[in-house]
């Protein structure tokens, strides 16, 4: 099957290119000049400026790039953004994101995520289905001064399509192997001259990519349904308000994990006795108000998020009936932010802001021992235990940033005062041979107050060439582990970093060439490390001693002609433990941090052919290759993934309002592991997805 898919695609490409050469001779060969690329602006109430002048390493992905590269969730950003890596966990439950080596497997994320100004504080909400995305901005390096908690590594800012003044819509139907079915509907309706609403609906299904040998069924089937509404009201020329509502219902088979042999560095077959799943309901709401008073700009963002999910998981992932875990979560999050800023382009620019939030997360975890588990763990009979965790996090912050512009020199300084309090109400029950026992109740609380400064200096060396230097303090709050077996493991401390960065940004040839180069060094203290609990039945966070991360990032985009665009991105990252003594017998100092590819890159081209025939207006061809260097899976450095590369392509045929596309991912069928972990004395891995191919039809109206 894999060979057939590859052969069909290559034949299609060969035939298309051959015909394209003939058509190209008849097409308009416009001169290269006057191909000015539009200004690339980061859309944010705190930045909202040309990316060229932002003193930080930043990548912007437009809606066209998102469609052509088939970016369908955050995981697909790996390789497209330098030193960005998001391993495929096997379900939407936990979405570990790593930027410049900084990230965390469980608990609070180290990378901030905002979607239409709505903050996402819970990693279980990170992996949602993309549709009708206008742009994605990724800022690397600490963003705590302006964004606070969970931005130790950087920030992802996603903007969906805005309501407009013209009535229009689109329907997308996508089908691929493994019975991948994806449909999207978008409709924009102006209500008056000042009001408009845009409605979106989406559906995603696939039969699963990996078969559980135990029952012969796919382990990772998915059904997901989404809807979004954005209402915009321009009250007057100086005042605007917008309401955003979004909902996703996801039902997913999950965790296609297989036993992993560290000697051969190979994963076996998926083979476990109890089918596992992850079900989630996710609702987000945001209300934004913006007032432009000329010399002063005021912005308010109010948001709410509700998450309810269920995880059922065969924790041992073997044919034995050792034990099964049921986990229920319910999250409520409220946030309010107010910013007041000065007019852009002045000698002195300023911004003041205030932020407050409250997050409640109620979790119930039940472990039920099977027949084999009762024997192996020498239990007196049928046994299960249930733990209840009621977590509340709340806090507030005041922040300020000043920018002084003197000719070609700009100096930026900012400071955030951040306070946060966390509480845990924990209860533990067990049932052995139908006898109920209440084990314990524990109440804990801790609070943190931190100052997060940032300073940068930027200088426009010449027209189209800018340089900057930035130093910033990063912070990720401490908290409580949801699984622990010893008193000292009940909580973990905050982690802090100092990020030092210099960079250069260029744009020339009428903006047809845009590039950036950055060097960074991160001094990192009390890093929060994922570990298995002593029994192996669960995971927790502990603090390592001291770590460092350093590297370089490069991006280049070149528009050679109106029809040809090429790009290349490269990131090198060396992240190590400087000092990490786990216990008297174990010292990981000098080891590489897990989940950090030594390097990653992406290179590709997009070519447009004007056809202007009865059945075809134009054709677009895209081919891109992304590679990931060797990375280790744990702090022991005894298991790793060697270099692998993924080739993808897309051919689009356009006629007026219709576009028919043929796409493929992992065209060369690269063999790699996308995730790894250790538990119960075993090692487990998930294989990367095989060759994927399909077709997509989009009709606009």
For 150-162, the pLDDT digits (tens) are 899 999 999 999 9
In angstroms, the CA 301 to CA 157 distance is 14
* Closest to 151 (Cα-Cα) out of 109, 111, 113, 123: 111
Query: Percent of the chain scored above 70 by pLDDT?
Result: 93
Render pLDDT for 636-668 as a digit per residue (tens, 0 to 9).
999 999 999 999 999 999 999 999 999 999 999
Residue 34 is predicted with a pLDDT of 44
Cβ atoms 118, 244 nearer than 8 A: yes
The full DSSP string for 552-589 is EEEEEEEE-SSSEEEEEEEEEEEEEEEE-EEETTEE-T
Instruction: Indicate whether 504 pLDDT > 90.
Output: yes
Whether 279 shows a pLDDT value over 90: the answer reads yes
Pick the more confident residue, 255 or 337: 337
Backbone phi, psi, residue 355, to 5°: -140, 140
SS3 (DSSP) at 372:
helix
Mean pLDDT of 118-140: 91
Q: What mean pLDDT is predicted for residues 175-181?
A: 97
CA–CA gap between residue 201 and residue 203 (Å, rounded)? 7
Q: Are 35 and 559 in contact, with CB atoms under 8 Å apart?
A: yes
pLDDT of residue 327: 94
Q: Residue for token digits 């007057």?
A: 236
> What integer is the mean pLDDT of 184-189?
97
Above 80 in pLDDT, residue 40? Answer: no
Task: State mean pLDDT over 349-357.
Answer: 96
Mean per-residue pLDDT of the chain: 89
User: How confident is the model at residue 536, as a pLDDT?
Assistant: 66
Check residue 28 and give its pLDDT: 40
Average confidence (pLDDT) over 327-340: 96
Which domains does the chain carry? 2-700 (2.40.170.20)
Contact 521, 505 (CB under 8 A): no
Each residue of 187-239: pLDDT tens digit?
999 999 999 999 999 999 999 999 999 999 999 999 999 999 999 999 999 99
Structure tokens at 586: 């174990």
Q: How confident is the model at residue 39 (pLDDT cuts 50, 70, 90)?
A: low
Q: Give 43-90 pLDDT, tens digit per residue.
A: 666 776 788 888 999 999 999 999 999 999 999 999 899 999 998 887
Contacts of 126 (CB under 8 A, 6+ apart): 74, 95, 97, 109, 113, 120
CA 186 to chain centre: 23
Whole-number pLDDT of residue 10 = 41
Residue partners of 148: CB distance under 8 A and separation at least 6: 355, 397, 399, 416, 418, 452
pLDDT level of residue 483 (50, 70, 90 thresholds): confident
Mean pLDDT is lowest, of 22-26, 54-58, 545-549, 598-602, for 22-26
Residue 32 has pLDDT above 60, yes or no: no
Residue 20 pLDDT exceeds 70: no
Taking the C-alpha atoms of residue 634 and residue 85, their distance in angstroms, rounded to an integer, is: 15
Q: Which residue's entry shows tokens 């689109």? A: 170
Q: How confident is the model at residue 38 (pLDDT cuts 50, 70, 90)?
A: low
pLDDT digits (tens, 9 = 90+) for 358-373: 999 999 999 999 999 9
Q: What pTM was computed for the model? A: 0.90
pLDDT (tens digit, 9 = 90+) per residue, 403-442? 999 999 999 999 999 999 999 998 999 999 989 999 988 8
How much is the pLDDT for 16? 41
Beta strands in 539-691 (DSSP E): 539-543, 546-559, 564-579, 581-583, 586-587, 599-610, 618-628, 631-632, 640-641, 644-655, 658-665, 673-679, 682-687
**DSSP E strands: which ranges in 256-406?**
258-261, 266-270, 277-292, 296-314, 323-342, 348-369, 383-406
Q: Please determine, for residue 35, whether its predicted confidence score (pLDDT) is greater than 50.
A: no
């Amino acid at each position: 099957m894999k060979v057939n898919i590859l052969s069909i695609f290559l034949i299609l490409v060969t035939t298309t290119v051959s015909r394209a050469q003939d058509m190209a001779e008849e097409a308009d060969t416009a001169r290269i000049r006057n191909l000015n690329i539009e200004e690339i602006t980061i859309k944010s109430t705190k930045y909202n400026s040309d990316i060229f002048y932002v003193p930080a390493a930043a990548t912007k992905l437009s809606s066209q790039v998102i469609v052509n590269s088939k970016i369908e969730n955050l995981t697909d950003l790996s390789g497209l953004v330098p030193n960005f890596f998001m391993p495929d966990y096997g379900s939407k439950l936990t979405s570990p994101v790593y930027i410049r080596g900084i990230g965390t497997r469980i608990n609070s994320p180290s990378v901030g995520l905002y979607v239409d100004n709505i903050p996402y504080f819970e990693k279980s909400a990170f992996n949602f289905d993309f549709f009708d995305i206008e742009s994605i901005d990724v800022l690397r390096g600490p963003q705590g001064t302006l964004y606070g908690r969970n931005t130790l590594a950087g920030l992802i800012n996603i903007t969906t399509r805005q309501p407009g003044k013209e009535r229009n819509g689109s329907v997308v139907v996508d089908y691929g192997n493994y019975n991948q079915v994806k449909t999207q509907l978008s409709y924009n309706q102006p209500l008056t001259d000042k009001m408009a609403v845009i409605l979106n609906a989406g559906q995603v299904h696939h039969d699963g990519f990996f078969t559980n040998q135990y029952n012969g069924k796919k382990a990772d089937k998915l059904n997901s349904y989404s809807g979004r509404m954005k209402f915009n009201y321009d009250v007057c020329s100086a005042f605007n308000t917008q309401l955003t509502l979004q909902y996703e219902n996801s039902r997913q088979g999950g965790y296609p994990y297989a036993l992993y042999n560290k000697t051969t560095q190979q994963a076996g077959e998926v083979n476990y006795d109890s089918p596992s799943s992850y079900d989630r309901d996710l609702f987000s709401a945001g209300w934004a108000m913006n007032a432009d008073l000329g010399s002063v700009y005021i912005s308010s963002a109010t948001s709410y998020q509700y998450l309810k999910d269920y995880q059922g998981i065969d924790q041992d992932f073997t044919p034995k009936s050792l034990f099964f875990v049921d986990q229920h979560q319910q999250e409520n999050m409220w946030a309010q932010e107010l910013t007041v800023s000065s007019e852009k382009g002045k000698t002195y620019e300023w911004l003041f802001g205030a932020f407050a939030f409250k997050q409640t997360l109620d979790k119930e975890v039940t472990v039920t021992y099977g027949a084999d588990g009762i024997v192996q763990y020498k239990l007196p009979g049928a046994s299960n235990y249930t733990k209840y965790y009621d977590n509340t996090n709340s806090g507030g912050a005041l922040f300020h940033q000043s920018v002084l512009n003197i000719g070609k020199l700009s100096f930026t300084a900012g400071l955030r005062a951040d306070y946060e309090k966390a509480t845990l109400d924990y209860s533990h029950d067990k049932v052995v041979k139908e006898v109920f026992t209440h084990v314990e109740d524990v109440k804990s609380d801790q609070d943190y107050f931190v100052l997060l400064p940032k300073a940068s200096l930027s200088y426009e060396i010449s027209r189209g060439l800018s340089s900057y230097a930035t130093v910033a303090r990063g912070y990720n709050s401490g908290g409580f582990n949801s699984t622990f077996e010893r008193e000292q493991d009940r909580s973990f401390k905050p982690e802090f970093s100092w990020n030092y960065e210099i960079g250069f940004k260029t744009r020339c040839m009428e903006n047809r060439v845009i590039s950036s180069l950055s060097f960074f060094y991160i001094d990192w203290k009390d890093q929060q490390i994922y570990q298995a609990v002593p029994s192996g039945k669960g995971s927790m966070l502990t603090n390592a001693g001291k770590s460092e991360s350093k590297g370089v990032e490069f991006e280049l985009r070149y528009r050679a002609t109106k029809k040809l665009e090429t790009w290349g991105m490269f990131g090198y990252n060396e992240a190590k433990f400087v000092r990490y003594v786990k216990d008297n017998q174990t010292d990981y100092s000098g080891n590489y941090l897990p989940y950090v590819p030594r390097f990653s890159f992406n290179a590709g081209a997009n070519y447009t052919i004007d056809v202007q025939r009865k059945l075809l207006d134009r054709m677009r061809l895209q081919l891109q290759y992304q590679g990931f260097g060797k990375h280790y899976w744990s702090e022991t450095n005894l298991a790793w993934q060697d270099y692998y590369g993924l080739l993808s392509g897309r051919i689009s045929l356009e006629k007026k309002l219709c576009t028919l596309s043929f796409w493929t991912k992992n065209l060369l069928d690269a063999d790699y592991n996308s995730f790894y972990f250790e538990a119960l004395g075993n090692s487990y891995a998930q294989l990367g997805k095989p060759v994927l191919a399909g077709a997509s039809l989009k009709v606009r109206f």
